[in-house]
A = this chain, B = another copy of it.
Amino acid sequence: MRAEIITIGDELLIGQVVDTNSAWMAQKLNENGIELFQITSVHDDREHIIAAIDDAFKRVDIVLTTGGLGPTKDDITKQVLCEYFQTHLIEDERVRAHIEHLYQDRPDVLNRLTATQWMVPECAVILPNRVGSAPLMIFPHGQQLLASMPGVPYEMEIAMEEQILPYVTRFIAEQTDADIHYGIQHRTLQVSGISESALAIRLETYERLLPKNVHLAYLPKDGIIRLRLSSYGDVCKGSIDHSFWHLKYNVRDYLFDETGDSPEIIVGRLLKERGATIATAESCTGGRLASLLAKHAGSSAFFWGSIVSYDNSVKEHLLGVPEEVLKTHGAVSEETVRIMAESVRKQMSTTYAIATSGIAGPTGGSDGKPVGTVWIAWATPEGTTAECFHLGKLREQIIERACARALIGLIKIIGPKFDVLNEFC
């Protein structure tokens, strides 16, 4: 069965917030075998919301809306849904009790406006919103349904996982199975060190010989190319496995991952498997590498810390890079990053350390070291290696790419060696 997402809010259309919800929801829908057909962002406007719902119901059977459920005057989704589904608001005692409990320690929140949150559309199925005041609403619509949830990301995520998805998958199971694509499968490989077009040429014959319902997509980002193999409908499991192995074989020289996880998650997993720890010493990445390593739950098992030495005085006094090295070779040099990596590894007593130093721009470049030049060093119990990269011209891109290269470099040192041939035999 197919679904669409309608995100509601002026803030999306004046660019005040980035819509991160849709990608998260898309993943969850896919994992549950529901194909997401379209995402539409509309204004907090009666006619616009109604038109978008009308259009979506012409294409798909499941419509998910986010946003516009706050207690303030600019949020009108609940009223518009009442009108669309020809119903009216009634007080819901369970929602009221939940909200009163939620804000029992905050009398300033338990006010007249918050009270509007326990007024719900009579015809809707109301599901509990464990972490917020806006109730989750499901509107049955013949063989179709619309689910409305808040736009605040963590409220939406909890609502989707705990309430909406279980409800929607049950609803689908109750309908005829005729249209259900339970067969959607995705498999992802990650490669680095080759351009997208060179890779596509290498894979041309492979792509031509793919089974009809299996598609290959190229997703380049930060110097990594994710290759996603998708099968829709009636492809048997063996067929996508076979195509996947062939893909691996074709890209074996550039392959560093076959889980599709982000590099910092792969690094975390490898370090935990080995009982190893890591620290970073960062100049141009400014703490971004550390924050990636610390981002996910459980990172305190392997991430010890970082010395961010943005200013040269910090490189000198806290990382022991000698003044002569900084003068002779510069802050962006093999000599400097090697000392940075070894120093932080020693000071924090970790198994591994990574150091970065580069020119993120927009100023600070020279002929010999243009903007985008980044040195990265990896200190390990077996010694230290370093490599120079040229990562483009744009500050944010240089920082993100440097972090990706730093992590991939470590994955290549400590990660699994893919023995693609033997795997097949």
Contacts and interface: CB of A to CB of B under 8 A. Distances in A.
Contact of A26 (B13, B52, B207, B304): B13
Instruction: Report the contact-size class of chain A (Cβ under 8 Å from the partner).
Output: 35 or more
A196 B293 contact: no
A303 B313 CA distance: 12
Given A41-B39, A43-B37, A219-B17, A299 B286 contact: yes
Interface stretch (A210-218, A236-244, A376-384, A411-419): A210-218
Contact of A291 (B30, B220, B288, B348): B288
Nearest to A286: B294
Given A12-B22, A282-B287, A313-B349, 15 more contacts: A13-B38, A14-B26, A14-B186, A15-B30, A16-B27, A16-B219, A22-B41, A38-B41, A38-B52, A39-B39, A55-B55, A71-B196, A287-B293, A287-B306, A290-B290
A252 to B, nearest CB: 17
Interface string A26-41: 1111100000111111
Contacts of A83: none
A310 B314 contact: no
A52 B37 CA distance: 12
7 contacts: A14-B27, A15-B29, A44-B217, A74-B216, A285-B294, A287-B289, A288-B294
Sorted from nearest, which 4 A-B pairs have the closest CB atoms?
A286-B294, A287-B290, A15-B26, A15-B27
